[in-house]
Amino acid sequence: MIPVWVPDGPWIDGVRHAGAMTLDVASPSDGAVFATVGAAGPPDVHRAVTAAETAFHDRRWRGIPVLERQRVLGRAAEALRAHDGELGRLIAHEMGMPETAARYVEVPYAAGVLDYYAGLVASVGGETLPVDIPGVDPAFHVFTTRRPVEVAALITPWNFPLLLPVWKVAAALAAGTAVVLKPAPEAPLTALALVALLESAGVPPGVVNVLPGGDDVGAALCAHPGVRHISFTGSTAVGREVAAQAGQGLKRVQLELGGKSPALVFADADLDNAVSQCLFGVYFNSGQVCQAASRILVHQSQYDAFLEQFTARAQALRVGAATDPDTDLGPLVRASQLTVIQDHVDHALAGGARCLLGGHPLPGPGYFYAPTVLADVSPELSAFQEELFGPVAVVTPFATDPEGVALANATPYGLAAAVFTRHLRRALSISGELAAGTVWINTSQMQSPTVPFGGMKASGWGRELGRAGLEEFLDTQATWIDLHEAPPTYF
């Protein structure tokens, strides 16, 4: 099941290590362990950071001419495309994303990210600046250069086990940074496959190191003095811990955290399109998406019609094993998540919400939850406020535009939002009032390697993708050259 070219343990400086212990990898579709990999311990963390530091300082990657680095990243993108079938199956087995989605959405998108950052490698540069110094002839030549961060720790979750590591690794490589990647323990194999493909494309050993393991590995990376930048994607609770640890070491930090994104359906919205987009926004990857538009706020004039159409279409979604080509919704990643979701659903029903569809786990084996529609969900309920990471639509009516905006902003999060209306003036006015890093108008869940992505409020700091994602891994250095025939004296 695991391609023979995929390492099955910590990958440090181009060599597979045994690790301190072993880590079982189970398929969410049936709960069965299908692979065992070596898991890193504290000595592996130090070894990996040291390898990255050495790779940075001996310039084995950043010293390669820029056009060749572009070609390497381009070859890496083609390697992903060439192995799309194997990668799709691996993703399906590790985390339960339907294999068709993994192969035809996640893998091509990841390859596109590598292509995009390949194009930015040669754009890393500074500028020449004028100066103003009171009482002194400004005969100075001043320019800036962009210097890559030396070593970055990249900590990624399980829900997109190829795409999210690529977001970080591709930007870091475009900048010239060396990295240590710590994937989620539920899905380490896809990250190990990624480093194998990167090195086969020409990325030198030691530039990208991968440490499978648990929270202790991530904590050790954050605390290591050789790590100068931490890029973390995961829950807001863990993000706060990462930020605190980074503060102790005065490390740079980029956080892409949780979300509870709203979709606002106004009275003049195209109802068919709103229903279709909201279905995708709630149920893609079984709701295990940080920007999932799982809070649907519908104007009271459209509310009943929306619920009827949305519920009927949700009921038609096919739930099944990730490897079944007919599957629309695969399993959740772990059994414990079924209990978490059920607790929120039960709390919502006790608080006056109506369950129009689902509201319960499905028989195993595997960790399946029925597509669920909850109506009349009050803003104070946990299902409205908290990220459920499951296939649960929370639907609430509103009466006026200001009420809709207030409901949209009524959570601690600010990752994304969707607006459905036929009026451009309303769309732009409303989007400007939404505390969200991304706003979609008459669509949902769209992303591109060229467009920055990140959140406001408790959804994080900084941005990934786009030029902004590259900037996260660059420092600015200013250089002054005195051009005076007789340099000025000051004392």
pLDDT tens by residue, 54-83: 999 999 999 999 999 999 999 999 999 999
Span 179-219, pLDDT tens digits? 999 999 999 999 999 999 999 999 999 999 999 999 999 99
Output the pTM of the full model.
Answer: 0.96
Residue 198 burial (C-beta neighbours within 10 Å; 0-12, 13-18, 19+): buried
Q: What percent of the chain has pLDDT over 90?
A: 97
pLDDT at 2: 86
d(CA 310, CA 339): 25
4 falls in which pLDDT band (50, 70, 90)? confident
d(CA 260, CA 456): 12
pLDDT at 490 over 90: no
- Tell the residue number behind the tokens 């070219």, with chain if given: 5
pLDDT at 1 over 80: no
pLDDT at 230: 98
pLDDT at 103 over 80: yes
pLDDT at 135: 86
Tokens at residue 342, please? 């059920």
Distances (CA, A) of 15 to 152, 388, 403, 442: 19, 39, 57, 48
Stretch 83-100: mean pLDDT, rounded? 97
pLDDT at 428 over 80: yes
Catalytic residue among 186, 290, 464, 472: 290
Asked if 355 is an active-site residue, the reply is: no
pLDDT at 487: 83
CATH architecture label of 11-257+459-477: 3-Layer(aba) Sandwich (3.40)
- Residue type at 66 in one-letter notation: V
> Which residues pair with residue 392 across a beta bridge?
372
Mean pLDDT of all residues belonging to the chain = 97
257 near 464, Cβ under 8 Å?
no
Catalytic residue among 256, 387, 464, 472: 256
DSSP string over 276-341: HHHHHHHHGGGG--TT---EEEEETTTHHHHHHHHHHHHHTPPB--TT-TT-SB---S-HHHHHHH
CATH of range 262-441; options 3.30.565.10, 3.40.309.10, 3.40.50.2300, 2.160.10.10: 3.40.309.10
Span 312-337, pLDDT tens digits? 999 999 999 999 999 999 999 999 99
* Domain boundaries of the chain, sorted by first residue: 11-257+459-477, 262-441
Asked if 222 is an active-site residue, the reply is: no
pLDDT at 401 over 90: yes
Rg of the chain on CA atoms, in Å: 24
Rounded to the nearest 10 degrees, the angle between the axes of helix 66-82 and helix 107-120 is 170
pLDDT at 255 over 90: yes
348 near 376, Cβ under 8 Å?
no
Span 139-154, pLDDT tens digits? 999 999 999 999 999 9
30 falls in which pLDDT band (50, 70, 90)? very high
d(CA 314, CA 312): 6
